[in-house]
A and B are shown apart, each in its own frame.
Chain A
Amino acid sequence: MSLQSAPRLATPRSRTRRASNFELNTWLFMRGSGLLLLVLVFGHLFVNLMVGEGINALDFAFVAGKWASPFWQVWDLAMLWLAELHGMNGLRTIINDYATKPHTRLFLKTLLYFSAFVVLVLGTLVIFTFDPCADAASTLEVCRTN
């Protein structure tokens, strides 16, 4: 396989208006968030599915135990925001590639941004407002006062 050099183009003499760096920034974000997500999701899957009893250990008490620690709260919050924004941008690219009619694009993107908003708000609220002892009859260890 041989590499061909592109034909030489004249250097642009002036910019009529300031170019936006939006697409460059999202391109960089995809790579940066991707690397972080590799670590975050790998750790998430390892702790929840591989360690101990794996999936059979997952229940309310398991989540209560994890979110009792700020470490896992921050971990899950970072994973939520990075994954949702990474996925939202990926789907935005796919809509731009395949949806050609302006109305279809507007409809699909509105749906996309709305769903991303719902997921981010709901997920963030759940992490911050979770109270394992909301049920007064709870027998969980963290809920015992004495």
Chain B
Amino acid sequence: MWSWVAHRITGVTLFFFLFVHVIDISMVRVSPEVFDEVVATYKNPVVGLMEVGLVAAFLFHALNGVRLILVDFWSEGPRYQKQMTYGVLVLFVALMVPFLIRHLSHVFGG
């Protein structure tokens, strides 16, 4: 139930980010100066923290999506859905920790 709610919320978040992301990347066709100015906002510490949330949304949505596929297509999937939820959370933390260390040191370390 909570996985289902989180899957929807992260999905909508990623959809709206994609909309913004395609528009900001399209500035590459305006001029190098405008593009570099737009990309500079991504290096702002506040936006840097929002990127952590964005990557967290992606990782959860991707890992939980694999779990959904296993529940749908693997004959033993429904039986182990709960264990797989714990697996999703463990993998989520295992991938988030190295990303947090690296990304935050880039954003705040200069």
Contacting B at CB under 8 A, from A49-69, are: 49-50, 53-56, 58-60, 63
Q: Which of B14, B39, B68, B73 is A87 in contact with, Cβ under 8 Å?
A: B14
On A, residues with C-beta under 8 Å from B are 31, 34-35, 37-38, 41-42, 45, 49-50, 53-56, 58-60, 63, 80, 83-84, 87-88, 90-91, 94, 115, 119, 122-123, 125-126, 129-130, 135, 138
CA distance A35 to B29 in the complex (A): 31
Q: What DSSP secondary structure best describes chain A's contact surface?
A: helix
> What B residues does A63 contact at CB under 8 A?
25, 28, 35
Q: Is the CB of B62 within 8 A of A37?
A: yes
Interface size class of B (residues with CB under 8 A): 35 or more
Q: Is the CB of B58 within 8 A of A45?
A: yes
Q: What DSSP secondary structure best describes chain B's contact surface?
A: helix
CA distance A65 to B31 in the complex (A): 16
> What A residues does B51 contact at CB under 8 A?
49, 55
Q: Which of B32, B43, B58 is A41 in contact with, Cβ under 8 Å?
A: B58
Q: Closest chain A residue to B31 by CB distance?
A: A135
| Distance of A52 from chain B, by nearest CB (Å) | 10
Q: Which of B19, B29, B62 is A38 in contact with, Cβ under 8 Å?
A: B62
CA distance A20 to B72 in the complex (A): 21
Q: Is the CB of B39 within 8 A of A59?
A: yes
> What A residues does B87 contact at CB under 8 A?
none
